[in-house]
Amino acid sequence: MEQVARTGASHVTATGLAETLIVLRRKGYGASSEEIVRDIHALGIAVEPMTEEDAAEMAFLSGEVEKLRARNARGANQIGMLSLGDSACLAVAKRLGAIAVVSDGTWELLGPVGITIMPFR
């Protein structure tokens, strides 16, 4: 992950940053939010704001996931629900023409909608 971050072209959505801060706090990570944000910036990761177009794309992508789940009814549990953070990441990646680095590899199934996915687990 650090190699991807240090390319100088890495972004996290504002939504993804909030999700990161929330998870780290829940897990008892001792650094303050300000320290974590500073560390993220030190890695060369920019925080990308969300746009109205991103919101519309997030809704579209959620619909596409629902279609995938419906077509694959027996394996629907293998295709997770698209969280707000995931949909924000994917929508912004699509807008920027960037690779979406995500923790859930099932989003590779969204390739046909024009998003390149790289799972990190």
Class of domain 2-119: alpha beta
Average pLDDT along the chain: 83
**Domain spans, the chain:** 2-119
- Per-residue pLDDT tens for 46-86? 999 999 999 999 999 988 888 887 877 665 556 677 788 88
Evaluate the CA torsion angle 29, 22, 101, 38 in order and state its sign: negative
pLDDT above 80: residue 120: no
- Per-residue pLDDT tens for 71-80? 776 655 566 7
Looking at residue 4, the DSSP 8-state letter turns out to be: H
Q: H helices within the chain, ranges in order? A: 2-5, 14-26, 33-42, 52-71, 84-96
Residue with tokens 């801060």, as numbered in its chain: 21
Q: Are 104 and 86 in contact (CB under 8 A)?
A: yes
Query: CA-CA distance, 27 to 106, in Å (whole number)?
Result: 25
Evaluate the CA torsion angle 93, 95, 68, 56 in order and state its sign: positive
pLDDT above 80: residue 107: no
